[in-house]
A and B are shown apart, each in its own frame.
Chain A
Amino acid sequence: MIGLMRAESLKIRSTRTTLGLLAGMTALVVLVVVLTGVFAKSSDLIGTSNQLSLLSYGSFAIVFAGLAGVLLVTSEYRYGTIRPTLLFNPSRARVLIAKLVASFLAGIIFSVVAEGAGLIAGLLILTARGLPLTLSGGDIGLLIGGTIAGTALWAALGVGLGSLIRNQVGALIVLLSWIFVVEPLVFAFVPSVGRWFPGQAVNALTGLASAHLLAPAAAAAVLVLWASSLAVAGNALMARTDVS
């Protein structure tokens, strides 16, 4: 099993896709933090919740980690590497578990890079504008911890989604439209439902203040439940589909 996880982690590292996702993610996070930090009025950059939102753009990492997770499964089907993968490791459940673990670990790296870049950029801008940091150490701790946990779970969630929808384009469309369309709309209009969704759970996990969000611990549980349900469903599907 350890070997299988090492193999999956080599799969993530050995193509340029991952590097591209990391680079794109970092650029995006820094860009958004800089634009916000430079153009916002000073009054909008003081106060706990304003500063928290400036420093939490690192949670964009969930999108990129989710993409990486989806790709780890769907590119096996797209390029047919699923054949040698299963010839070497006929247990589909074990292959899926190895992918979940490897992508979870990759998710941690994604979040550390994104949150690190976002924090550094944000703090530099606050310092440059002479604005005092009003967040407590606890706030920042929750922000970092929540982003890391949330992103790692989103990477696993991507693996689950990819094992359910093995068509690469289809899975990517579902993932992106879920994050950028479905969740924001549902949360805006029916927050009592939307707060149970995995993206809002990450917001809750990072300590973003909103009356409608779940408590961080509950959000973590909800996210684990999403990731594991998708994986269990994907596993059931993979177990009974032929590989051609």
Chain B
Amino acid sequence: MAGIVVVESLTKRFGRVVAVDDLSFSLEAGTITGFLGPNGAGKTTTLRMLLGLARPTHGRALVFGKPYARLRRPPLLVGAVLEATGFHPGRSGRDHLRMLGRSIGIPDARADEVLRLVELDGAAKRLVKGYSLGMRQRLGLASALLGDPELLVLDEPTNGLDPEGVRWLRDFLRATAQGGKTVLISSHGLAEVAQTVNRVLIINHGRLVVESTLEELTSSPDGSVCTRSTQPQRLLHALRAERLEVTEASDGALAVQGATPERIGAIACAAGIPLSELVGQASSLEGAFLRLTSEVAS
């Protein structure tokens, strides 16, 4: 079935800021799609419109052929977690789930079931104010799973998860997709989701930059090399002094065009700048991501 999610010319303006700009895409059943973009790209805003929490300035977003608000008992079809937490600190995780479940007639026993599923059953009766960030993420995920939905929409779900938690989530999402379900997962970096997703949508400044499968993205020789240093500014100057084209990510990574990793290493060595990372060519997911998201910016 095509078009579990269909987004058409979706636009959202906040005053003079165009957070989402004429965005169109669709998702098919059984895919895990990474919805990527740097901070402020418009990911959360897009998801809020998709989920009926915010009204588009223009265009529309459909899930299972309808605007979200028109779905009957939406949690049975769509499970969603948005980035910011939505828990009352003085309520237990279990009561949080029960309260949501009861509102649409899901039995209380299902709350305990999903708590076990996300491995939070030990803390079920504790108040949410005593939960760690990762536990809150798991509780959010549990609430999305309550209705055993066909589509999962997760906004930065790996935030706050430890490596073991990230691996757990990855396996969980893969198993979910194997069962024919569809997943849309947002992230600000490709690396976080590269091992999970099979398709990517990259947006920047509210516009779609890339829509492709993960293989296409990583196999296209993008020619850029991703490097990091403990002294990024010095490295940037040294590389630019060699007339190389360098783009800088907010987290300090540099994407360098038109030079091999050997040459970059040599330049850094000559200038006495320590490198902490140097990844070249096809394996450079981060490089591809940086290049793709900075093209529109410049």
Q: A residues within 8 Å of B by Cβ?
A: 3-4, 6-8, 10-11, 14-17, 75, 79-91, 98, 240, 242-244
The distance from the CB of A77 to the nearest CB of chain B, in whole angstroms, is 10
Which residues of B48-88 have CB atoms within 8 Å of chain A's CB atoms? 48, 51-55, 68-69, 71, 74-75, 80, 82, 84-88
Instruction: Find out whether the CB atom of B91 lies under 8 angstroms from the CB atom of A15.
Output: yes
Q: A7-B103, A84-B100 are in contact. Are A15 and B52 (CB under 8 A)?
A: no
Instruction: Find out whether the CB atom of B54 lies under 8 angstroms from the CB atom of A242.
Output: yes
Q: A14-B92, A15-B90, A83-B86 are in contact. Are A7 and B102 (CB under 8 A)?
A: yes
The distance from the CB of A159 to the nearest CB of chain B, in whole angstroms, is 16
Measured between beta carbons, the chain A residues less than 8 angstroms from B52 are 86-87, 90
Measured between beta carbons, the chain A residues less than 8 angstroms from B143 are 84
**Is B133 interfacial (CB 8 A cutoff)?**
no
Instruction: Find out whether the CB atom of B90 lies under 8 angstroms from the CB atom of A16.
Output: yes
Extra 10 A-B pairs, beta carbons < 8 Å, given A14-B92, A75-B88, A90-B52: A4-B104, A6-B102, A6-B103, A7-B102, A81-B86, A88-B103, A90-B69, A90-B71, A98-B103, A242-B53
Cross-chain contact of B53 among A4, A10, A83 (Cβ < 8 A): A83
The distance from the CB of A120 to the nearest CB of chain B, in whole angstroms, is 31
Cross-chain contact of B103 among A4, A14, A80, A244 (Cβ < 8 A): A4
Q: A80-B85, A87-B75 are in contact. Are A3 and B91 (CB under 8 A)?
A: no
Closest to B73 in A: A88
Closest to B49 in A: A242
User: How far apart are the CA atoms of A92 and B265 in the complex, in Å?
Assistant: 58
Instruction: Find out whether the CB atom of B54 lies under 8 angstroms from the CB atom of A81.
Output: no
Instruction: Find out whether the CB atom of A87 lies under 8 angstroms from the CB atom of B80.
Output: yes
Instruction: Find out whether the CB atom of B99 lies under 8 angstroms from the CB atom of A91.
Output: no
Which residues of B81-116 have CB atoms within 8 Å of chain A's CB atoms? 82, 84-92, 95-96, 98-100, 102-105
Which residues of B8-30 have CB atoms within 8 Å of chain A's CB atoms? none
Instruction: Find out whether the CB atom of A14 lies under 8 angstroms from the CB atom of B95.
Output: yes
User: How far apart are the CA atoms of A7 and B75 in the complex, in Å?
Assistant: 15
Instruction: Find out whether the CB atom of B104 lies under 8 angstroms from the CB atom of A3.
Output: yes
Instruction: Find out whether the CB atom of B102 lies under 8 angstroms from the CB atom of A10.
Output: yes
Instruction: Find out whether the CB atom of A86 lies under 8 angstroms from the CB atom of B53.
Output: yes
7 cross-chain pairs, A with B, having the tightest CB-CB distances, nearest first: A7-B103, A242-B54, A90-B69, A80-B86, A15-B90, A14-B95, A83-B86
The distance from the CB of B224 to the nearest CB of chain A, in whole angstroms, is 35
User: How far apart are the CA atoms of A4 and B84 in the complex, in Å?
Assistant: 23
User: How far apart are the CA atoms of A80 and B85 in the complex, in Å?
Assistant: 7
User: How far apart are the CA atoms of A190 and B270 in the complex, in Å?
Assistant: 87
The CB with the most chain B CB atoms within 10 A, among A4, A15, A17, A87, is that of A87
The distance from the CB of A133 to the nearest CB of chain B, in whole angstroms, is 42
Instruction: Find out whether the CB atom of A243 lies under 8 angstroms from the CB atom of B100.
Output: no
Cross-chain contact of B89 among A10, A11, A79, A242 (Cβ < 8 A): A79
Measured between beta carbons, the chain A residues less than 8 angstroms from B96 are 81, 84
User: How far apart are the CA atoms of A7 and B91 in the complex, in Å?
Assistant: 13
Measured between beta carbons, the chain A residues less than 8 angstroms from B80 are 87
The CB with the most chain A CB atoms within 10 A, among B51, B53, B69, B84, is that of B53
User: 0/1 per residue, B193-221, Cβ < 8 Å to A?
Assistant: 00000000000000000000000000000
User: How far apart are the CA atoms of A244 and B143 in the complex, in Å?
Assistant: 18
27 contacts between A and B (CB under 8 A): A3-B103, A3-B105, A6-B103, A7-B99, A7-B102, A7-B103, A8-B103, A10-B99, A14-B91, A14-B92, A15-B90, A75-B88, A79-B85, A79-B86, A79-B89, A80-B85, A80-B87, A81-B96, A82-B86, A87-B52, A87-B53, A87-B75, A88-B74, A90-B71, A91-B69, A243-B54, A244-B48
Instruction: Find out whether the CB atom of B104 lies under 8 angstroms from the CB atom of A89.
Output: yes
The distance from the CB of B49 to the nearest CB of chain A, in whole angstroms, is 9
Instruction: Find out whether the CB atom of A79 lies under 8 angstroms from the CB atom of B74.
Output: no
